[in-house]
Amino acid sequence: NEYLFPGQKYGSHLSEATVSQYLKNHGVTASRVFSTALYNAYVHNLAHPKVLVKAFGISDETAIKYFNLLDPQLIQAVNSQVSAHG
C-alpha cells in the first residue's frame, strides 16, 4: 500500500532504520510495542506461554515471568480458559 509506508516498494522489506524512524516519529518505543504484543497475546486467550517462546524468541523462563507479572485476575481468567479447553 503506497500510503502505509510512502517511498517503499510493495513486497520489499523495511529496514531496521526505517521502522525505528516510524516508531520515533509517532512517539512509540520498541519496548512498548513488544510489551503491548505480549499483553495482547494473553488478553486474547493465549493457550500456552510456549507460543510466546516461538513467536518472540524468548526463553521459557522469560515467558513464564511475563505471564506471572500480569494482573492476577487476568491470569485466573486465562487459566480457567485453558482448563475448560482441556
pLDDT at 8: 67
Helices (H), the chain: 16-25, 30-43, 50-56, 60-69, 72-84
**How far, in whole angstroms, is CA 68 from its chain's centroid?**
16
Q: What is the pTM of this model?
A: 0.50
pLDDT at 73: 65
What does the domain layout of the chain look like in residue ranges?
16-84
Residue 59: strand, helix, or coil: coil
Write out pLDDT tens, residues 48-60: 778 888 888 889 8
